[in-house]
Chain A
Protein backbone atom coordinates (compact mmCIF):
# COMPACT_ATOMS: atom_id res chain seq x y z
CA UNK A 1 0.00 0.00 0.00
CA UNK A 2 1.19 3.50 -0.77
CA UNK A 3 1.07 6.26 1.75
CA UNK A 4 -0.50 9.39 0.28
CA UNK A 5 -0.29 11.51 3.38
CA UNK A 6 2.06 11.38 6.30
CA UNK A 7 1.73 13.84 9.14
CA UNK A 8 4.49 13.94 11.68
CA UNK A 9 4.46 15.84 14.99
CA UNK A 10 2.27 18.59 13.56
CA UNK A 11 1.98 21.59 15.85
CA UNK A 12 -0.38 24.47 15.19
CA UNK A 13 -0.44 27.17 17.83
CA UNK A 14 -2.51 30.32 18.13
CA UNK A 15 -0.78 33.34 19.56
CA UNK A 16 -3.61 35.21 21.23
CA UNK A 17 -3.67 38.15 23.57
CA UNK A 18 -4.28 35.86 26.51
CA UNK A 19 -1.46 33.47 25.71
CA UNK A 20 -0.46 30.68 23.37
CA UNK A 21 -3.23 28.24 22.50
CA UNK A 22 -1.75 24.92 21.50
CA UNK A 23 -4.69 23.84 19.37
CA UNK A 24 -2.74 21.05 17.71
CA UNK A 25 0.20 19.81 19.71
CA UNK A 26 2.16 17.01 18.15
CA UNK A 27 -0.27 15.10 15.96
CA UNK A 28 1.07 12.27 13.82
CA UNK A 29 -0.73 9.90 11.50
CA UNK A 30 -0.54 8.50 8.02
CA UNK A 31 -3.08 7.78 5.37
CA UNK A 32 -3.03 5.14 2.67
CA UNK A 33 -4.65 5.24 -0.74
CA UNK A 34 -8.41 4.72 -0.45
CA UNK A 35 -8.31 4.67 3.33
CA UNK A 36 -10.87 6.54 5.43
CA UNK A 37 -9.46 7.81 8.68
CA UNK A 38 -11.85 8.98 11.38
CA UNK A 39 -10.79 11.92 13.52
CA UNK A 40 -12.97 12.08 16.62
CA UNK A 41 -12.98 14.71 19.32
CA UNK A 42 -15.12 17.21 21.14
CA UNK A 43 -15.16 20.91 20.47
CA UNK A 44 -11.79 22.43 21.27
CA UNK A 45 -9.94 19.15 20.81
CA UNK A 46 -8.10 20.50 17.78
CA UNK A 47 -9.68 18.22 15.21
CA UNK A 48 -10.83 21.01 12.91
CA UNK A 49 -7.57 22.93 13.23
CA UNK A 50 -5.75 19.75 12.25
CA UNK A 51 -7.86 19.60 9.10
CA UNK A 52 -7.25 23.25 8.29
CA UNK A 53 -3.51 22.86 8.90
CA UNK A 54 -3.35 20.08 6.32
CA UNK A 55 -4.58 22.50 3.66
CA UNK A 56 -2.51 25.41 4.95
CA UNK A 57 -5.69 27.31 5.80
CA UNK A 58 -4.71 28.40 9.29
CA UNK A 59 -5.18 32.15 9.66
CA UNK A 60 -3.38 34.54 11.98
CA UNK A 61 -2.96 34.50 14.94
CA UNK A 62 -2.58 30.78 14.22
CA UNK A 63 0.59 29.32 12.82
CA UNK A 64 2.05 25.91 12.10
CA UNK A 65 5.06 25.94 14.40
CA UNK A 66 6.41 22.46 13.90
CA UNK A 67 6.20 19.08 12.26
CA UNK A 68 5.83 17.96 8.69
CA UNK A 69 2.94 17.20 6.37
CA UNK A 70 4.12 14.93 3.55
CA UNK A 71 1.63 14.85 0.69
CA UNK A 72 2.82 12.29 -1.86
CA UNK A 73 6.30 12.67 -0.44
CA UNK A 74 6.41 16.47 -0.54
CA UNK A 75 6.45 18.49 2.66
CA UNK A 76 3.70 21.11 2.72
CA UNK A 77 4.83 22.89 5.88
CA UNK A 78 6.68 26.07 5.04
CA UNK A 79 5.66 25.97 1.39
CA UNK A 80 4.91 29.44 -0.02
CA UNK A 81 1.23 30.30 -0.41
CA UNK A 82 1.44 30.22 -4.19
CA UNK A 83 2.64 26.63 -4.26
CA UNK A 84 0.12 25.63 -1.62
CA UNK A 85 -2.67 27.11 -3.69
CA UNK A 86 -1.58 24.98 -6.62
CA UNK A 87 -2.05 21.88 -4.47
CA UNK A 88 -5.23 22.95 -2.72
CA UNK A 89 -8.25 21.62 -4.54
CA UNK A 90 -6.06 19.59 -6.87
CA UNK A 91 -4.17 17.18 -4.64
CA UNK A 92 -5.89 17.82 -1.34
CA UNK A 93 -9.39 19.21 -0.91
CA UNK A 94 -11.75 19.99 1.92
CA UNK A 95 -15.46 19.56 2.56
CA UNK A 96 -16.88 21.90 5.15
CA UNK A 97 -19.66 21.50 7.68
CA UNK A 98 -21.96 24.13 6.27
CA UNK A 99 -22.78 23.78 2.56
CA UNK A 100 -24.62 27.11 2.57
CA UNK A 101 -21.42 28.93 3.47
CA UNK A 102 -19.28 27.04 0.94
CA UNK A 103 -21.33 27.80 -2.14
CA UNK A 104 -21.67 31.27 -3.58
CA UNK A 105 -25.37 32.11 -3.63
CA UNK A 106 -25.05 34.39 -6.64
CA UNK A 107 -23.44 31.98 -9.08
CA UNK A 108 -24.90 28.93 -10.79
CA UNK A 109 -23.45 25.54 -10.02
CA UNK A 110 -22.00 25.48 -13.54
CA UNK A 111 -20.08 28.72 -13.02
CA UNK A 112 -18.79 27.66 -9.64
CA UNK A 113 -17.65 24.31 -10.94
CA UNK A 114 -15.95 25.72 -14.03
CA UNK A 115 -14.13 28.27 -11.87
CA UNK A 116 -12.89 25.46 -9.69
CA UNK A 117 -11.85 23.45 -12.74
CA UNK A 118 -10.10 26.31 -14.50
CA UNK A 119 -8.08 27.05 -11.40
CA UNK A 120 -5.92 24.02 -12.07
CA UNK A 121 -6.58 22.85 -15.61
CA UNK A 122 -7.11 24.15 -19.11
CA UNK A 123 -10.32 22.80 -20.53
CA UNK A 124 -12.82 23.77 -23.16
CA UNK A 125 -16.51 24.21 -22.47
CA UNK A 126 -17.50 20.76 -23.54
CA UNK A 127 -14.86 19.08 -21.42
CA UNK A 128 -15.88 21.16 -18.45
CA UNK A 129 -19.52 20.23 -18.84
CA UNK A 130 -18.85 16.53 -19.16
CA UNK A 131 -16.53 16.61 -16.14
CA UNK A 132 -19.16 18.44 -14.07
CA UNK A 133 -21.90 16.00 -15.01
CA UNK A 134 -19.51 13.19 -14.26
CA UNK A 135 -18.85 14.26 -10.65
CA UNK A 136 -22.44 15.29 -9.99
CA UNK A 137 -23.55 11.82 -11.02
CA UNK A 138 -20.93 10.32 -8.74
CA UNK A 139 -22.37 12.05 -5.67
CA UNK A 140 -25.89 10.96 -6.58
CA UNK A 141 -27.54 14.11 -7.91
CA UNK A 142 -30.45 13.11 -10.14
CA UNK A 143 -30.53 14.62 -13.64
CA UNK A 144 -27.19 16.48 -13.28
CA UNK A 145 -27.22 18.05 -16.76
CA UNK A 146 -30.43 19.91 -15.93
CA UNK A 147 -29.30 20.93 -12.46
CA UNK A 148 -26.06 22.50 -13.69
CA UNK A 149 -27.70 25.86 -14.27
CA UNK A 150 -29.44 25.99 -10.92
CA UNK A 151 -28.45 28.30 -8.11
CA UNK A 152 -27.50 26.93 -4.68
CA UNK A 153 -30.79 28.05 -3.10
CA UNK A 154 -32.67 25.80 -5.49
CA UNK A 155 -31.14 22.75 -3.82
CA UNK A 156 -32.13 21.22 -0.51
CA UNK A 157 -29.57 21.04 2.31
CA UNK A 158 -28.56 17.50 1.51
CA UNK A 159 -28.28 18.20 -2.21
CA UNK A 160 -26.21 21.31 -1.52
CA UNK A 161 -23.74 19.28 0.48
CA UNK A 162 -23.59 16.82 -2.43
CA UNK A 163 -22.75 19.67 -4.77
CA UNK A 164 -20.05 20.85 -2.39
CA UNK A 165 -18.64 17.32 -2.33
CA UNK A 166 -18.85 17.15 -6.14
CA UNK A 167 -16.77 20.33 -6.39
CA UNK A 168 -14.04 18.81 -4.24
CA UNK A 169 -14.05 15.76 -6.50
CA UNK A 170 -13.51 17.76 -9.71
CA UNK A 171 -9.75 17.28 -9.79
CA UNK A 172 -9.89 13.81 -8.24
CA UNK A 173 -7.70 14.82 -5.32
CA UNK A 174 -5.70 12.13 -3.58
CA UNK A 175 -6.85 13.28 -0.16
CA UNK A 176 -10.15 14.76 0.98
CA UNK A 177 -10.49 16.33 4.40
CA UNK A 178 -14.15 16.28 5.47
CA UNK A 179 -14.95 18.46 8.47
CA UNK A 180 -18.26 17.34 9.99
CA UNK A 181 -19.91 17.26 6.56
CA UNK A 182 -23.10 15.59 7.78
CA UNK A 183 -23.59 17.33 11.12
CA UNK A 184 -25.93 19.94 9.69
CA UNK A 185 -28.00 17.35 7.84
CA UNK A 186 -30.94 15.18 8.78
CA UNK A 187 -30.49 11.60 9.79
CA UNK A 188 -31.97 10.16 6.63
CA UNK A 189 -29.92 12.48 4.38
CA UNK A 190 -26.80 11.82 6.42
CA UNK A 191 -27.22 8.10 5.81
CA UNK A 192 -27.46 8.70 2.06
CA UNK A 193 -24.29 10.80 1.99
CA UNK A 194 -22.38 8.40 4.19
CA UNK A 195 -23.08 5.52 1.85
CA UNK A 196 -22.14 7.62 -1.20
CA UNK A 197 -18.84 8.55 0.42
CA UNK A 198 -18.13 4.97 1.32
CA UNK A 199 -18.51 3.77 -2.25
CA UNK A 200 -16.61 6.81 -3.56
CA UNK A 201 -13.55 6.01 -1.52
CA UNK A 202 -13.77 2.42 -2.62
CA UNK A 203 -14.16 3.21 -6.32
CA UNK A 204 -11.82 6.15 -6.81
CA UNK A 205 -9.15 5.30 -4.29
CA UNK A 206 -9.45 8.72 -2.71
CA UNK A 207 -8.14 8.78 0.82
CA UNK A 208 -10.32 10.61 3.31
CA UNK A 209 -10.02 12.15 6.72
CA UNK A 210 -13.46 12.24 8.28
CA UNK A 211 -13.61 14.70 11.15
CA UNK A 212 -16.58 14.40 13.50
CA UNK A 213 -17.71 14.54 17.08
CA UNK A 214 -20.07 11.64 16.51
CA UNK A 215 -18.45 8.30 17.23
CA UNK A 216 -21.20 6.29 15.58
CA UNK A 217 -21.10 8.19 12.29
CA UNK A 218 -17.34 8.02 12.07
CA UNK A 219 -17.35 4.35 12.83
CA UNK A 220 -19.71 3.68 9.97
CA UNK A 221 -17.10 4.97 7.53
CA UNK A 222 -13.62 4.92 8.91
CA UNK A 223 -11.41 1.87 9.09
CA UNK A 224 -9.05 3.58 11.50
CA UNK A 225 -9.88 5.96 14.34
CA UNK A 226 -7.91 8.81 15.83
CA UNK A 227 -9.25 10.18 19.11
CA UNK A 228 -8.14 13.70 19.97
CA UNK A 229 -8.28 15.50 23.28
CA UNK A 230 -6.92 18.97 24.02
CA UNK A 231 -4.73 19.11 20.93
CA UNK A 232 -3.23 15.65 21.27
CA UNK A 233 -4.05 12.27 19.80
CA UNK A 234 -4.85 10.15 22.85
CA UNK A 235 -5.70 6.96 21.02
CA UNK A 236 -5.35 5.48 17.57
CA UNK A 237 -6.20 2.14 16.04
CA UNK A 238 -8.50 0.11 13.82
CA UNK A 239 -12.10 1.23 14.38
CA UNK A 240 -13.54 -2.04 15.58
CA UNK A 241 -10.72 -2.59 18.05
CA UNK A 242 -10.85 0.92 19.42
CA UNK A 243 -14.60 0.70 19.93
CA UNK A 244 -14.55 -2.78 21.42
CA UNK A 245 -11.56 -2.38 23.61
CA UNK A 246 -10.59 1.25 24.04
CA UNK A 247 -7.28 1.69 25.89
CA UNK A 248 -7.59 5.35 26.82
CA UNK A 249 -10.07 6.18 29.59
CA UNK A 250 -11.30 9.17 27.56
CA UNK A 251 -12.27 7.00 24.59
CA UNK A 252 -13.95 4.63 26.99
CA UNK A 253 -15.78 7.53 28.59
CA UNK A 254 -17.00 8.77 25.21
CA UNK A 255 -18.40 5.35 24.32
CA UNK A 256 -19.96 4.78 27.73
CA UNK A 257 -21.65 8.15 27.80
CA UNK A 258 -23.75 7.36 24.71
CA UNK A 259 -27.41 6.86 25.62
CA UNK A 260 -27.43 3.59 23.67
CA UNK A 261 -24.97 2.16 26.21
CA UNK A 262 -27.36 2.41 29.16
CA UNK A 263 -30.79 1.04 29.90
CA UNK A 264 -33.53 3.56 29.09
CA UNK A 265 -34.24 5.80 32.05
CA UNK A 266 -31.10 4.79 33.95
CA UNK A 267 -28.42 7.43 34.55
CA UNK A 268 -25.73 7.47 31.89
CA UNK A 269 -22.10 6.94 32.65
CA UNK A 270 -20.80 10.47 32.48
CA UNK A 271 -17.37 12.01 32.22
CA UNK A 272 -17.25 14.58 34.98
CA UNK A 273 -16.04 18.15 34.52
CA UNK A 274 -15.65 20.06 31.30
CA UNK A 275 -13.07 20.18 28.55
CA UNK A 276 -10.15 22.23 29.86
CA UNK A 277 -9.33 25.64 28.46
CA UNK A 278 -6.38 25.28 26.11
CA UNK A 279 -4.91 28.38 27.74
CA UNK A 280 -4.53 26.74 31.11
CA UNK A 281 -3.97 23.06 30.54
CA UNK A 282 -3.13 20.95 33.56
CA UNK A 283 0.45 19.62 33.63
CA UNK A 284 0.98 16.17 32.15
CA UNK A 285 -2.03 14.30 30.86
CA UNK A 286 -4.74 16.86 30.01
CA UNK A 287 -7.48 14.37 30.79
CA UNK A 288 -6.19 13.60 34.30
CA UNK A 289 -8.49 16.03 36.21
CA UNK A 290 -11.57 14.33 34.71
CA UNK A 291 -10.21 10.79 34.87
CA UNK A 292 -11.13 8.37 37.65
CA UNK A 293 -8.00 6.29 37.02
CA UNK A 294 -5.65 9.23 37.48
CA UNK A 295 -2.80 9.00 39.99
CA UNK A 296 0.32 11.00 40.89
CA UNK A 297 2.19 9.92 37.77
CA UNK A 298 -0.42 11.60 35.58
CA UNK A 299 1.16 15.01 36.16
CA UNK A 300 3.88 13.77 33.85
CA UNK A 301 3.25 13.68 30.15
CA UNK A 302 2.37 10.10 29.19
CA UNK A 303 4.55 8.69 26.42
CA UNK A 304 2.71 7.06 23.56
CA UNK A 305 2.57 3.28 23.84
CA UNK A 306 2.14 1.14 20.79
CA UNK A 307 0.96 -2.39 20.34
CA UNK A 308 0.63 -3.85 16.86
CA UNK A 309 -1.24 -1.10 14.96
CA UNK A 310 -2.64 0.62 18.01
CA UNK A 311 -1.37 3.59 19.97
CA UNK A 312 -2.48 5.18 23.22
CA UNK A 313 -1.17 7.89 25.46
CA UNK A 314 -2.00 6.97 29.03
CA UNK A 315 -0.26 5.96 32.25
CA UNK A 316 -3.14 3.71 33.26
CA UNK A 317 -4.60 2.29 30.06
CA UNK A 318 -7.63 0.03 30.05
CA UNK A 319 -6.65 -3.61 29.83
CA UNK A 320 -7.81 -6.27 27.40
CA UNK A 321 -10.23 -7.79 29.90
CA UNK A 322 -11.93 -4.43 30.44
CA UNK A 323 -13.48 -4.49 26.97
CA UNK A 324 -16.77 -2.63 26.65
CA UNK A 325 -18.90 -5.73 26.35
Chain B
Protein backbone atom coordinates (compact mmCIF):
# COMPACT_ATOMS: atom_id res chain seq x y z
CA UNK B 1 0.00 0.00 0.00
CA UNK B 2 3.04 2.21 0.31
CA UNK B 3 2.34 3.56 -3.13
CA UNK B 4 3.98 6.94 -2.90
CA UNK B 5 3.97 7.80 -6.59
CA UNK B 6 1.98 10.81 -7.62
CA UNK B 7 -1.23 10.18 -9.59
CA UNK B 8 0.37 11.78 -12.63
CA UNK B 9 3.28 9.39 -12.53
CA UNK B 10 0.97 6.42 -12.22
CA UNK B 11 -1.06 7.69 -15.14
CA UNK B 12 2.06 7.99 -17.25
CA UNK B 13 3.24 4.53 -16.27
CA UNK B 14 -0.04 3.00 -17.34
CA UNK B 15 -0.20 5.13 -20.46
CA UNK B 16 3.31 4.41 -21.60
CA UNK B 17 2.66 0.70 -21.38
CA UNK B 18 0.31 0.96 -24.33
CA UNK B 19 2.52 1.46 -27.36
CA UNK B 20 -0.35 2.37 -29.60
CA UNK B 21 -1.29 5.15 -27.22
CA UNK B 22 2.26 6.45 -27.18
CA UNK B 23 2.47 6.46 -30.97
CA UNK B 24 -0.85 8.28 -31.12
CA UNK B 25 0.36 10.82 -28.61
CA UNK B 26 3.46 11.41 -30.74
CA UNK B 27 1.31 11.96 -33.82
CA UNK B 28 -0.89 14.40 -31.96
CA UNK B 29 2.14 16.24 -30.60
CA UNK B 30 3.65 16.35 -34.09
CA UNK B 31 0.45 17.86 -35.47
CA UNK B 32 0.43 20.40 -32.66
CA UNK B 33 4.03 21.35 -33.37
CA UNK B 34 3.28 21.64 -37.09
CA UNK B 35 0.33 23.90 -36.39
CA UNK B 36 2.20 26.02 -33.90
CA UNK B 37 5.28 26.50 -36.01
CA UNK B 38 3.61 26.52 -39.40
CA UNK B 39 4.96 30.02 -40.33
CA UNK B 40 8.52 28.76 -39.83
CA UNK B 41 8.04 25.50 -41.63
CA UNK B 42 6.17 26.31 -44.80
CA UNK B 43 7.40 28.71 -47.47
CA UNK B 44 4.25 30.77 -47.97
CA UNK B 45 1.74 32.59 -45.83
CA UNK B 46 -1.56 31.97 -47.59
CA UNK B 47 -3.17 35.02 -45.92
CA UNK B 48 -0.56 37.33 -47.28
CA UNK B 49 -2.06 38.33 -50.59
CA UNK B 50 1.13 40.02 -51.66
CA UNK B 51 3.00 36.77 -51.95
CA UNK B 52 0.33 35.23 -54.11
CA UNK B 53 0.48 35.27 -57.85
CA UNK B 54 -2.23 34.20 -60.24
CA UNK B 55 0.53 33.00 -62.49
CA UNK B 56 0.97 30.13 -60.10
CA UNK B 57 -2.71 29.17 -60.02
CA UNK B 58 -3.79 25.58 -60.59
CA UNK B 59 -0.36 24.10 -60.85
CA UNK B 60 0.44 20.43 -60.45
CA UNK B 61 2.46 19.10 -57.52
CA UNK B 62 6.19 19.61 -57.86
CA UNK B 63 5.84 22.91 -59.75
CA UNK B 64 8.44 25.53 -58.96
CA UNK B 65 6.58 28.81 -58.74
CA UNK B 66 7.46 32.47 -58.91
CA UNK B 67 8.57 32.42 -55.29
CA UNK B 68 11.36 30.09 -56.33
CA UNK B 69 10.31 27.14 -54.17
CA UNK B 70 8.72 23.81 -54.91
CA UNK B 71 4.94 23.52 -54.48
CA UNK B 72 4.97 19.95 -53.25
CA UNK B 73 1.21 19.61 -53.42
CA UNK B 74 0.62 22.08 -56.19
CA UNK B 75 -1.44 25.27 -55.94
CA UNK B 76 -5.09 26.34 -55.83
CA UNK B 77 -7.02 28.66 -58.19
CA UNK B 78 -5.72 31.73 -56.30
CA UNK B 79 -2.16 30.58 -56.63
CA UNK B 80 -1.77 29.55 -52.98
CA UNK B 81 0.65 26.81 -52.09
CA UNK B 82 -1.53 23.92 -50.98
CA UNK B 83 0.97 22.50 -48.50
CA UNK B 84 1.25 25.87 -46.77
CA UNK B 85 -2.49 26.24 -46.83
CA UNK B 86 -2.96 22.84 -45.22
CA UNK B 87 -0.56 23.69 -42.40
CA UNK B 88 -2.16 27.06 -41.83
CA UNK B 89 -5.58 25.41 -42.03
CA UNK B 90 -4.41 23.01 -39.35
CA UNK B 91 -3.86 25.97 -37.04
CA UNK B 92 -7.40 27.17 -37.42
CA UNK B 93 -8.96 23.74 -37.25
CA UNK B 94 -7.11 22.85 -34.07
CA UNK B 95 -7.70 26.26 -32.55
CA UNK B 96 -11.42 26.20 -33.20
CA UNK B 97 -11.73 22.57 -32.19
CA UNK B 98 -9.90 23.00 -28.92
CA UNK B 99 -11.49 26.33 -28.09
CA UNK B 100 -14.99 25.07 -28.81
CA UNK B 101 -14.29 21.80 -27.01
CA UNK B 102 -12.91 23.50 -23.91
CA UNK B 103 -15.65 26.10 -23.67
CA UNK B 104 -18.27 23.40 -24.18
CA UNK B 105 -16.52 21.33 -21.49
CA UNK B 106 -16.64 24.12 -18.93
CA UNK B 107 -20.18 25.15 -19.75
CA UNK B 108 -21.58 21.65 -20.06
CA UNK B 109 -19.86 20.41 -16.91
CA UNK B 110 -21.15 23.36 -14.91
CA UNK B 111 -24.69 22.79 -16.12
CA UNK B 112 -24.53 19.05 -15.48
CA UNK B 113 -23.02 19.26 -11.99
CA UNK B 114 -25.30 22.12 -11.01
CA UNK B 115 -28.35 20.16 -12.14
CA UNK B 116 -27.24 17.03 -10.31
CA UNK B 117 -26.46 19.00 -7.18
CA UNK B 118 -29.60 21.13 -6.82
CA UNK B 119 -32.07 18.49 -7.95
CA UNK B 120 -35.81 19.04 -8.11
CA UNK B 121 -37.44 21.26 -10.71
CA UNK B 122 -34.28 23.06 -11.83
CA UNK B 123 -32.64 19.70 -12.45
CA UNK B 124 -35.57 18.54 -14.52
CA UNK B 125 -35.73 21.77 -16.48
CA UNK B 126 -32.02 21.86 -17.34
CA UNK B 127 -31.72 18.22 -18.20
CA UNK B 128 -34.83 18.16 -20.38
CA UNK B 129 -33.36 21.01 -22.42
CA UNK B 130 -30.18 18.99 -22.77
CA UNK B 131 -32.15 15.89 -23.75
CA UNK B 132 -34.10 17.87 -26.28
CA UNK B 133 -30.89 19.12 -27.80
CA UNK B 134 -29.35 15.66 -27.85
CA UNK B 135 -32.28 14.35 -29.80
CA UNK B 136 -31.25 16.53 -32.76
CA UNK B 137 -28.03 15.89 -34.65
CA UNK B 138 -25.34 18.37 -33.62
CA UNK B 139 -24.73 19.34 -37.24
CA UNK B 140 -28.32 20.48 -37.66
CA UNK B 141 -28.14 22.75 -34.67
CA UNK B 142 -24.77 24.10 -35.73
CA UNK B 143 -26.08 24.81 -39.22
CA UNK B 144 -29.03 26.76 -37.89
CA UNK B 145 -26.86 28.73 -35.52
CA UNK B 146 -24.28 29.61 -38.14
CA UNK B 147 -27.06 30.68 -40.44
CA UNK B 148 -28.40 32.92 -37.69
CA UNK B 149 -25.11 34.27 -36.35
CA UNK B 150 -23.28 34.63 -39.61
CA UNK B 151 -19.77 33.61 -40.54
CA UNK B 152 -16.56 34.15 -38.61
CA UNK B 153 -14.34 32.48 -36.05
CA UNK B 154 -16.28 33.48 -32.96
CA UNK B 155 -19.64 32.73 -34.48
CA UNK B 156 -18.35 29.32 -35.47
CA UNK B 157 -17.03 28.61 -31.99
CA UNK B 158 -20.30 29.77 -30.47
CA UNK B 159 -22.26 27.48 -32.77
CA UNK B 160 -20.02 24.53 -31.98
CA UNK B 161 -20.24 25.17 -28.22
CA UNK B 162 -24.00 25.40 -28.36
CA UNK B 163 -24.16 22.18 -30.31
CA UNK B 164 -21.74 20.28 -28.11
CA UNK B 165 -22.15 21.40 -24.51
CA UNK B 166 -25.10 19.01 -24.18
CA UNK B 167 -22.82 15.98 -24.43
CA UNK B 168 -20.69 17.28 -21.58
CA UNK B 169 -23.73 18.25 -19.55
CA UNK B 170 -25.22 14.79 -19.89
CA UNK B 171 -21.97 13.04 -18.98
CA UNK B 172 -21.20 15.33 -16.05
CA UNK B 173 -24.75 15.00 -14.81
CA UNK B 174 -24.62 11.22 -14.90
CA UNK B 175 -21.28 11.06 -13.14
CA UNK B 176 -22.22 13.66 -10.54
CA UNK B 177 -25.52 11.93 -9.85
CA UNK B 178 -23.56 8.78 -9.06
CA UNK B 179 -20.95 10.52 -6.93
CA UNK B 180 -23.61 12.51 -5.11
CA UNK B 181 -24.81 9.36 -3.38
CA UNK B 182 -21.39 8.42 -2.08
CA UNK B 183 -20.40 8.74 1.54
CA UNK B 184 -17.69 11.31 1.03
CA UNK B 185 -20.16 13.81 -0.40
CA UNK B 186 -22.49 13.12 2.47
CA UNK B 187 -19.59 13.57 4.86
CA UNK B 188 -18.75 16.93 3.28
CA UNK B 189 -22.37 18.06 3.49
CA UNK B 190 -22.59 16.93 7.09
CA UNK B 191 -19.50 18.93 8.09
CA UNK B 192 -21.27 21.29 6.96
CA UNK B 193 -19.64 22.72 3.85
CA UNK B 194 -21.43 25.01 1.45
CA UNK B 195 -23.03 23.58 -1.66
CA UNK B 196 -20.57 25.43 -3.85
CA UNK B 197 -17.61 23.87 -2.07
CA UNK B 198 -19.07 20.39 -2.26
CA UNK B 199 -19.88 20.75 -5.94
CA UNK B 200 -16.54 22.09 -7.05
CA UNK B 201 -14.05 20.63 -4.60
CA UNK B 202 -15.55 17.16 -4.36
CA UNK B 203 -17.98 16.43 -7.17
CA UNK B 204 -16.04 18.05 -10.00
CA UNK B 205 -12.68 16.28 -9.58
CA UNK B 206 -14.44 12.94 -9.28
CA UNK B 207 -16.50 13.48 -12.40
CA UNK B 208 -13.43 14.25 -14.48
CA UNK B 209 -12.47 10.78 -15.79
CA UNK B 210 -15.55 10.24 -18.00
CA UNK B 211 -15.49 13.92 -18.96
CA UNK B 212 -11.94 13.66 -20.24
CA UNK B 213 -12.97 10.73 -22.41
CA UNK B 214 -15.93 12.68 -23.79
CA UNK B 215 -13.74 15.75 -24.28
CA UNK B 216 -11.31 13.88 -26.53
CA UNK B 217 -14.15 12.66 -28.69
CA UNK B 218 -15.87 16.03 -28.71
CA UNK B 219 -12.77 18.04 -29.60
CA UNK B 220 -12.23 15.74 -32.54
CA UNK B 221 -15.85 15.99 -33.53
CA UNK B 222 -15.71 19.78 -33.17
CA UNK B 223 -12.92 19.74 -35.73
CA UNK B 224 -14.88 17.60 -38.13
CA UNK B 225 -18.06 19.58 -37.47
CA UNK B 226 -16.22 22.75 -38.30
CA UNK B 227 -14.88 21.02 -41.41
CA UNK B 228 -18.35 19.94 -42.41
CA UNK B 229 -19.68 23.46 -42.01
CA UNK B 230 -16.85 24.81 -44.13
CA UNK B 231 -17.46 22.15 -46.73
CA UNK B 232 -21.07 23.21 -46.88
CA UNK B 233 -19.95 26.78 -47.31
CA UNK B 234 -21.03 27.92 -43.88
CA UNK B 235 -17.64 27.84 -42.22
CA UNK B 236 -14.99 30.51 -42.29
CA UNK B 237 -14.80 33.08 -45.10
CA UNK B 238 -12.77 31.98 -48.11
CA UNK B 239 -9.92 34.22 -47.09
CA UNK B 240 -9.21 31.91 -44.21
CA UNK B 241 -8.02 28.47 -45.20
CA UNK B 242 -9.37 25.83 -42.91
CA UNK B 243 -8.62 22.25 -43.69
CA UNK B 244 -11.69 21.14 -45.38
CA UNK B 245 -12.31 24.29 -47.30
CA UNK B 246 -9.33 23.14 -49.28
CA UNK B 247 -10.63 19.74 -49.89
CA UNK B 248 -13.71 21.24 -51.29
CA UNK B 249 -11.71 23.43 -53.57
CA UNK B 250 -9.38 20.78 -54.86
CA UNK B 251 -12.13 18.19 -54.77
CA UNK B 252 -9.86 15.41 -53.74
CA UNK B 253 -12.57 13.48 -51.97
CA UNK B 254 -10.54 10.40 -51.33
CA UNK B 255 -7.76 12.32 -49.81
CA UNK B 256 -10.21 14.24 -47.77
CA UNK B 257 -11.64 11.22 -46.10
CA UNK B 258 -8.15 9.94 -45.55
CA UNK B 259 -7.01 13.12 -43.85
CA UNK B 260 -10.24 13.43 -41.98
CA UNK B 261 -9.68 9.98 -40.67
CA UNK B 262 -6.11 10.89 -39.83
CA UNK B 263 -6.92 13.98 -37.88
CA UNK B 264 -10.26 13.53 -36.23
CA UNK B 265 -10.94 9.85 -36.03
CA UNK B 266 -7.59 8.37 -35.34
CA UNK B 267 -6.35 10.95 -32.87
CA UNK B 268 -9.40 10.88 -30.75
CA UNK B 269 -9.37 7.13 -30.83
CA UNK B 270 -5.90 7.00 -29.35
CA UNK B 271 -6.65 9.80 -26.94
CA UNK B 272 -9.56 7.74 -25.76
CA UNK B 273 -7.55 4.65 -25.32
CA UNK B 274 -5.12 6.48 -23.12
CA UNK B 275 -7.79 8.10 -21.05
CA UNK B 276 -9.73 4.98 -20.49
CA UNK B 277 -6.57 3.46 -19.18
CA UNK B 278 -6.04 6.31 -16.84
CA UNK B 279 -9.61 6.12 -15.76
CA UNK B 280 -9.46 2.45 -15.03
CA UNK B 281 -6.22 2.77 -13.11
CA UNK B 282 -7.75 5.44 -10.93
CA UNK B 283 -10.76 3.34 -10.21
CA UNK B 284 -8.82 0.34 -9.14
CA UNK B 285 -8.88 -0.17 -5.38
CA UNK B 286 -5.38 -0.19 -3.96
Listed in ascending order, the chain A residues whose CB lies under 8 Å from chain B are 277, 280
Contacts and interface: CB of A to CB of B under 8 A. Distances in A.
A280 B4 CA distance: 14
A242 to B, nearest CB: 30
Q: Tell me what chain B mostly uses at the interface: helix, strand, loop, or mixed.
A: loop
B27 to A, nearest CB: 26
Contacts of A277: 1-2
A280 B3 CA distance: 12
Nearest to B3: A18
Interface residues of B, number: 2
A17 to B, nearest CB: 8
Interface of B: 1-2
Contacts, number: 3
A280 B1 CA distance: 10
Contacts of B1: 277
Nearest to A274: B1
A277 B1 CA distance: 7
Nearest to B1: A277
Contacts of A280: 2
A53 B1 CA distance: 24
Contacts of B2: 277, 280
B103 to A, nearest CB: 38
A280 B2 CA distance: 10
B231 to A, nearest CB: 46
A277 B2 CA distance: 8
A181 to B, nearest CB: 22
B11 to A, nearest CB: 14
A42 to B, nearest CB: 14
Nearest to B17: A17
A-B CB proximity, top 3 nearest: A277-B1, A277-B2, A280-B2
A60 to B, nearest CB: 16
Nearest to B14: A17
A47 to B, nearest CB: 18
B232 to A, nearest CB: 46
Nearest to B2: A277
A45 to B, nearest CB: 15
A62 B1 CA distance: 19
A48 B285 CA distance: 17
A76 to B, nearest CB: 30
Nearest to A275: B1
A277 B4 CA distance: 14
A273 to B, nearest CB: 13
3 contacts: A277-B1, A277-B2, A280-B2
B53 to A, nearest CB: 60
B156 to A, nearest CB: 45
